[in-house]
Structure 1
Amino acid sequence: MFQSKKMKWSHYSSQEWTLLSIVLAFFFLLGMLSFKQYSKNKALKADDILKDVKKEFLKEGTLDGSWIELTKVPWKKFAHKTDVYYGGISRYEDYKLVQYEFIADAYSGSIIDIYRV
């Protein structure tokens, strides 16, 4: 009763192929940009940042303890605004317990400040 006619790939014109490739390229670029924006606004896990800090401190000697707050805190210095994690490391230096505290960017994981307490 109803006969469907299957179109083969060769029946499409070159203009239709060009339009299809332009549309695919557009959506590919749109996907890349949206993924970049999504990953930029995604915070890292506090435990992963602490592991990185501990790895750097272990290059200089053993550690006695470490901690990090699991909640992000808004932070502003001059014109730079971001969310940060606060943490700390303790170790023995010259037979005395020394403590360090650090501030780490929650999105990039970079250490903003580190100081001896």
Structure 2
Amino acid sequence: MKIKNIAIAFGVGLAGGYVLQKALQKSTLSPEQVMQLVKKTAKKALDIDGAWIYLSPENYQQNGLTYKVYKGGLTAKNNENLEHYDFIADASTGTILDLKAQ
């Protein structure tokens, strides 16, 4: 009887770990979702003409904290001139962590 209980507990633990792993993996937004959020935020200050984003998230450190981020760029019109901006956005929330004019 004890072996049966141990086997059941092991199976439940294994299934729970699998479900938890899948839930944690889904906490990263897709690059398309992040791009939409970045453009929505940037449109408040910039006249966006074009945008791009790397499809693979990467680790980024800022102020002693490590984030999973997407990097990309925006092109914006400024008095009929085009300006390029590079951005770094949090992969979990889409929040812009850094935006620099080039």
TM-score (norm 1): 0.60
Alignment of 1:67-82 (within 5 A): 67-82=52-67
The size of the alignment, in residue pairs, is: 83
For the pair shown, which has the larger CA radius of gyration, 1 or 2?
Answer: 1
The superposition leaves residues 32-77 of structure 1 with CA deviations (integer Å, 9 ceiling, x where unpaired) of xx87xx3587211111111111122333454221001110111112
The sequence identity of aligned pairs, in percent, is 29
* 1:4-54 Cα shifts (integer Å, max 9, x gaps): xxxxxxxxxxxxxxxxxxxxxxxxxxxxxx87xx35872111111111111
Q: TM-score, normalised by structure 2?
A: 0.67
Letter in 1 for 2:53: I
CA–CA distance in structure 1, aligned partners of residues 32 and 51 of structure 2: 11
- Any unmatched runs of 5+ in structure 1? 1-33
In structure 2, runs of 5+ residues without a counterpart are: 1-18
In structure 1, what is the Cα distance between the partners aligned to 2:42 and 2:60?
24
Higher alpha-carbon deviation: 107-116 or 74-83: 74-83
Question: Matched residues in 1 for 2:95 and 2:46: separation?
Answer: 21
RMSD: 2.4
